Each structure stands twice: as C-alpha cells, then as structure tokens.
Amino acid sequence: MDEITRDVVVIGAGAAGLTAANDLRKAGLSVAVLEARDRVGGRLWTDVVEGAMLELGGQWVSPDQQALIDTVEELGLTTYSRYREGDSVYVGADGEAKRFTGEMFPVAASTEKIIDEITVRLDAMVAEIDPDRPWEHPNAAEWDTVSWDAWLRQQTDDDEAVRNLAFATGSAMLTKPTHTFSLLQSLLMAASAGSYSNLVDADFILDKRVAGGLQAVPELLAERLGDDVFLNQPVRRIIWGADSATPDRAADSATGQRVDELRALTARVEAAKASAAGVTVIADGLTVRARFAILALAPVLYPRISFEPPLPRLQHQMHQHISMGFVIKVHAVYETPFWRAQGQSGTAFSPYELVHEAYDNTNHGDERGTLVGFVSDQNADDLFRLSAEERKERILESLSHYYGPEAKNTVVYYESDWGTEEWTRGAYAASFDLGGLHRYGADLREPVGAIHVACSDMAGAGYQHVDGAIRQGHRAAQEILERTRG
C-alpha cells in the first residue's frame, strides 16, 4: 500500500471537498482528496445516455446562490435560462389538467385564499429563522416536535391547500413524507432559499443551468488539484488522536466488554478530541498521514468508515437521527420539444400525480426536447417494487396527464436512482427526523479533534444545494486555516 503525507486529507471529491481543497492549496497547505467513486462530483453527475446528455444529479442555479454563481463565473462557465415560455399545467383532485400562467395553481378561490394566507404566515416565520442556526429560535423546540403535515392541518381543513403548501418542502425538496419531518425542518428548507415564497417559485429556485452540465464545476476544481485527487479510494479507517501514528495497530477484540476497558476507551476518545497528533486515513490502496481531515461526504456515510478510537457518543447519537430522502429523477427525451408547439412551458405540478412535478429540461442548443420529472418519498418506494417496464409505463402515463399522449413516445428514457448509489444512498440530501434538528443541529458542523466536516447536508444558506456544499467547503477550510495560524 502506498503512503503519503499531507497537511490536510479530504474525503470526498464533491463540490464541498474540492472547494475546501482548493482553498487550502491556495493558502499554502498540501492536500490529498480521496474519492470512493471512479469520478469526481458526488451528487453532481452529467453523463451521456444513449446519445443524450443528461444531468443525472443536481443541475439548477438560482439567483440567491451566490457562492455557486461566483464559482461558476470564476471557472469561466456559462449559464442559460430554463425554458419557461407558455402555459404551465396543474392536475387537481378531479384528474383534470388545467393550463395556467403565473405562480398560483388554478384552484378554487377559497383554496387560493387559504394558500395565500398561510404563505404569508410562513414567510413571516421564515424571516425569523437564521438558516445557519435555526435551533436558536425561541420556538425551535415547539416547531421541531410537530410534523410539517400536522402543523398545516392545524391551519386549515382544506386538503388541496394542505397538499399544495406541503409540496415545496416535502415531495419537492426533502423528498420524504410530510409526516416524517418537522415544521422547523421545513422552515429551515425555506430559509435556506430566502423565503417560503422563493422555494415555491419554480422560476426562482430552478432559474438557470450551466452549459455542458453542472458537474463541470467539480471537474474543473479537480483539474486544479491535479494528481492530488485520488479516485477509486474508498476510505475504510480513520485513526485520529494519539494513536494516529500506528495504523497497523491490532484491534482489541475485548474493547467495551468490561467496565474498566469501557472507561479506558472513553478516556481515549476524550484524549483524541484534544490531541494535536493528527490523523491517519486508510483507503483501499493508499494511506494518508495528515494534520487534519475533512469529511466531505453525507453524514449517512460516516458509518462506512471505522474510526479509531470511535467518534464521541454525541456524534453516534446525532447521526442516528439523520436520514436521506428518496426521489426518482426521470429523464424523457423526445424528437422535438412538442409541448412548446402546443403553447406549454413544460412546467407541470400536481400533488395528486405520481410525477409530482416536471419541467422542460432541453439542453442548450439541442434540437431534441427533454422533460425532467420527479417521483419522491412513498411513491418512489412503491414504484421500485414494480418491474422496470411497469415502472416506466406508470411514469410515462403520469407525464401524459400533463402533456398528452405524445409524452409516451420517448427516444431516450432514463431514471436516476440515487438510492442504489453505494456512496450516496438517497437524494437529495440528509435531514433530521422529528425533534432532531433542535436537539443536535448545533453540533452537526462542529469539528471533532482534527476531523472537520463539510457537505450540502449540513448547510444553512444553500441547504441541500451545490451552493451550500461550496459554502461548507469554504467554512471547513477556513476553520483549519485559523487553527494553523493560531
């Protein structure tokens, strides 16, 4: 096994890890980036499927995502606006497709009034939330122990209003059933975009795309690091603290079996937290000794790594209250963007449809047309109990309810299933269960000894987005730089 020494070892070559590594390199520190996959980008992945360029992961840039906008510009990339000319489509409880323009769905006047009133209320609540510290709000505990669905149903008994209000942070963003996460988690999701109104405005949150695909961001960041990015290197062990100089130390099979040994283990963990001995990171074909490490991967993947000594009990508890959502991103490519000729923008919504939202996702300069649709949470679970052909048939049938029978005639069809990705395990990002955010949120980004953390899952501003990953990469690098200067 090869062995190298660096100032900082970064685990994960997504936007967060590569941003941190570039910041540290610019400041004069040596770095190594270890990536388990055979590519960089993490949850950003642009690939060609049957001759069609598809953005299999994250892809959009919104006006509030300044960290991403700055990075895109600094890398010399160009953006273009999502196609949005023409009518949008909404399918209501009666199954009828209705075309509309503007932000409000074509619902009954009484339902529209309720949606407007509760949106104003939510915007006021979100305005009080610091997205980087939502647990500090005076009502954090109360808001974190009521589910998003239950809170909405306390406000109104209009089911259609509830479904449409719940949509933005439920199916669309956290991709979990709305009874499984809290009002506070939902408010954080909205605060990360500036307001609840921003989050429900597709023309805002899904504004632009990067020409050639958003994976170009991590790819260009990785190019600057050259041979210091190591692919196909899943990290198996991290030895931190006083024992970091002995990576081949045999494991003690009796550890934790007797009270005195448990006390000794606890003492080792406490000593490691205060130690300046650094870390030894052991991957499949490479060992890296470093002063600091950055875990630039989703917290749900931490259990894939053996920490010696174990992480403190707080981290063990906290990470049990975090889980990924689940969404199927559907790519449907057609000979032409036929919906445009029908006066449709391609934008479609319904809290009653299997495909709960869909958009024109045609690539810049492409003569063919592409729709992207999303199936999330319980619906996604249910679909994966079907065969691939049954799944495709059900999804295209749902798309046809928005766009007509032509939606079934694809030339390329592909489903991004991030739940099967070994080094991701869900989408779009991790969130806390009921009560977890106010209980553990303040500790989520805290370093443990020489180990720092960074990823979009723990962002405030830009939470769950590439923008948040970049912000967290900058933060982790700055933390380390401050320690080296201190």
Q: Are strands 430-432 and 322-324 parallel, antiparallel or unpaired?
A: antiparallel
At 251 the pLDDT is 47
Instruction: Tell me how far apart the terminal alpha carbons of the chain are, to the nearest angstrom.
Output: 34
Give the residue, 220 or 259, on which the prediction is more confident.
Answer: 220
pTM over 0.85: yes
Please classify residue 87 by burial: count the beta carbons closer than 10 Å to its beta carbon, then call 0-12 exposed, 13-18 middle and 19+ buried: middle
DSSP secondary structure, 231-276, as one string: -S--EEEEEEGGGGG-TTPPP-TTTTSSHHHHHHHHHHHHHHHH--
pLDDT tens digits for 394-435? 999 999 999 999 999 999 999 999 999 999 999 999 999 999
At 486 the pLDDT is 74
Q: Is 406 left (phi over 0), alpha (psi -120 to 50) or beta?
A: alpha
Average pLDDT, the chain: 94
Q: How many residues would you count in the chain?
A: 486
CB contact at 8 A, 77 and 247: no
User: Mean of the pLDDT values across residues 111-120?
Assistant: 97
Helix H or strand E segment including 481: helix 466-485
Q: Residue 97 pairs with which residues in a beta bridge? A: 91
User: Mean of the pLDDT values across residues 372-397?
Assistant: 97
Please classify residue 371 by burial: count the beta carbons closer than 10 Å to its beta carbon, then call 0-12 exposed, 13-18 middle and 19+ buried: buried
DSSP secondary structure, 146-203, as one string: SBHHHHHHHH---HHHHHHHHHTTIIIII-S-TTSSBHHHHHHHHHTTTSHHHHH-HH
- CA pair distance 353, 72, nearest whole angstrom: 35
| Closest to 167 measured CA to CA, from 154, 152, 155 | 152
Q: What is the three-class DSSP state of 277?
A: coil
User: Mean of the pLDDT values across residues 209-220?
Assistant: 98
Residue that has been written with the tokens 């009666």 in this structure: 94
pLDDT tens digits for 138-196? 999 999 999 999 999 999 999 999 999 999 999 999 999 999 999 999 999 999 999 99
Please give the structure tokens belonging to residue 401.
């309810």
Please give the structure tokens belonging to residue 308.
């010696």
User: Mean of the pLDDT values across residues 257-270?
Assistant: 76
Give the residue, 226 or 250, on which the prediction is more confident.
Answer: 226
